[in-house]
Amino acid sequence: GPGDRARRIDMSAPAAKRRRAGGQISSIRKEESKWIVSVIPDEGCSANDVREALSSGELSVQDMETTRACTRLQFLLMSEEEDPGEIQVEIQDGQREETQGEDDYFRSYSDVSVHELMLRDHPRLIAYRDGIEKNAQLFQGKIVLDVGCGTGIMSMFAARAGARKVYAVEASNIYEKAEALVRENGFSDKIQVIHDVIENVELSEKVDIIISEWMGFYLLHESMLGSVIDARERFLKEDGKMVPSSGKIYICPVAMEQFRKQNVDFWQSYYGLNFSSIGEEIMTARMATPFVEQISSSELLSKPQEFANIDFNRIERSQLVSLTGEFSFGIERDSELAGFAFWFDCDFTLDSPSPIILDTAPSSEPTHWKQTTVFLGVFAQVQKGEQVDVKATMLQDEMNPRHYKISIQT
């Protein structure tokens, strides 16, 4: 098997906190024509040093969302045709990482473009709409709490299904849009938008149903489930319902042949020249962090297995700190094993006569969650019929609990 060839890799999910010269980018945001880059610098590193390190790529990045913004900014810095505009560097104290991370998290959800991405996610919206409206009998005349309501669309689904009162809680400044949309759609008499983190909210009554769209990449990224659990413990009636009610995380070995074509084969004949050495360096850098992208079912080397099955009515915060599983996969074709992909599904069925499942598998309609691939760091030869044993662990980051470190051992 590949056990003697594949190495153990321990990553933060999204990104491993590997320090390079310059420091670590904790967030990048754009305000009008200005880029704001928040950095925890290496010792003795000035703002000017950070600017130079940003241009040369000598900064590590704290999470996957920031990685994409960083790539865009670096492209602009290298471009001769497009002006990136002013770049302002905010120097952070590394001891404030967790608090700053919370601020950045809620600030990121104030961006309308983030909500546009989610509002255009058809499978996501259909699952919530059907989960609510096909269970309308559960909502009629009931009190509902929407944790992290965003633009308020789930709250409006609940009100449309007959809920008597909906408390729509939103910590980011998008709450203003939610209030406007609630008013414009005629639900002001039923929906109360509350601008605060759920942990600070006090309600005068218990609720019958909690709805929340809290899921992140591989289900647990962003760790908002902890806040939903807090709301459940404080506000949900004993016979209350959670929407969605449960979720499963899946794991599967993958070949990532398309990834290799784009990052290895592409450089072997580059305008008639062999650029393999730089291609290897680029690929190594990309494989150093989990890869969030829609992959084809053809990349799967075995049948997916269940990594975790979480009942949102019963799960406790303490159970989310660490999740571990050991698996044995039967390889179904000769190939090269690149790593392991993770995805999830959530159950919205409740009392509906037919299943209502939000599925983010490669074989399902694409969603903004895509799939998360954790690379082994090598492409290990595997043969049809071979058994590949793996131990996978998701461990909540102590410094920033919204992130998980994913450990893969084969």
> What residues act catalytically?
213, 222
In sequence order, which ranges of 58-190 are alpha helices (DSSP H)? 64-78, 97-108, 112-119, 122-133, 136-139, 153-160, 175-184
32: its two tokens? 């009008």
In angstroms, the CA 204 to CA 113 distance is 34
Beta strands 23-31 and 60-61, pairing class: parallel
Main-chain phi, psi angles of 95, to 5 degrees: -70, -15
How far apart CA 227 and CA 250 sit, in angstroms, is 23
The pair of structure tokens assigned to 169 is 């809680």
Q: How many CA atoms lie within 13 A of 97 on its CB side?
A: 20
Look at the alpha carbons of 173, 71, 44, 94 in this order and tell me if their dihedral is positive or negative.
Answer: positive
Q: How far is CA 293 from the centre of its chain?
A: 11
In Å, the largest CA–CA distance within the chain is 72
Q: State both tokens at 298.
A: 């053809």
- Cα separation, 2 vs 336, whole angstroms: 9
Query: Nearest CA to 285 among 26, 117, 59?
Result: 59
193 exposure class (CB count in 10 Å sphere: 0-12, 13-18, 19+)? buried
Specify whether the CB–CB gap between 26 and 97 falls below 8 A: yes
Q: Amino acid identity, residue 405?
A: K
